[in-house]
């Protein structure tokens, strides 16, 4: 099994998207400062749904291990996303390269 990558998706109330985007981007900057080789992306699904679906993608050359995953989880709790537009829980998917 190769390095683990995290894909975290959740719904966002469109009216709160700007405020929440700033919080998530700030969280990702902080995570990259703490873990300099961490790659963190933020994507938005392109569809006609009334709410937005966001995806955070985290990759690391050595894979996302328990220490980095715990840091991501704690950072997500700290930004209190549900107070500014996150609808429902964060869904975490873990993938590794096909070999």
For residue range 52-85, what is the model confidence (pLDDT) as tens digits? Answer: 999 999 999 999 999 999 999 999 999 886 788 8
Residue with the bigger pLDDT between 49 and 55: it is 55
Number of domains in the chain: 1
Q: Which domain holds residue 11?
A: 5-95
pLDDT band, residue 1 (cuts 50/70/90)? low
CATH (domain of 47): 3.30.70.600
Residue 42 exposed, middle or buried by CB count within 10 Å (0-12, 13-18, 19+): middle
Question: The whole model's pTM is what?
Answer: 0.91
Q: Mean of the per-residue pLDDT values for the chain?
A: 92
Could you please report the per-residue DSSP string of 41-99?
EEEE--S--SSEEEEEEEE-TT---HHHHHHHHHHHHHTTGGGGTEEEEEEEEEE----
């Amino acid at each position: 099994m190769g390095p683990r990558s995290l894909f975290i998706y959740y719904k966002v109330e469109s009216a709160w998207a700007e405020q929440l985007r700033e919080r998530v981007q700030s969280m990702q900057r902080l995570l990259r400062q703490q873990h300099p080789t961490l790659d963190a992306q933020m994507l938005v699904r392109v569809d006609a749904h009334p709410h937005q679906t966001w995806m955070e993608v985290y990759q690391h050359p050595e894979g996302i291990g328990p220490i980095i995953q715990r840091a991501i989880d704690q950072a997500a709790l700290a930004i209190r996303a549900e107070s500014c537009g996150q609808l429902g829980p964060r869904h975490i998917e873990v993938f590794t390269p096909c070999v």
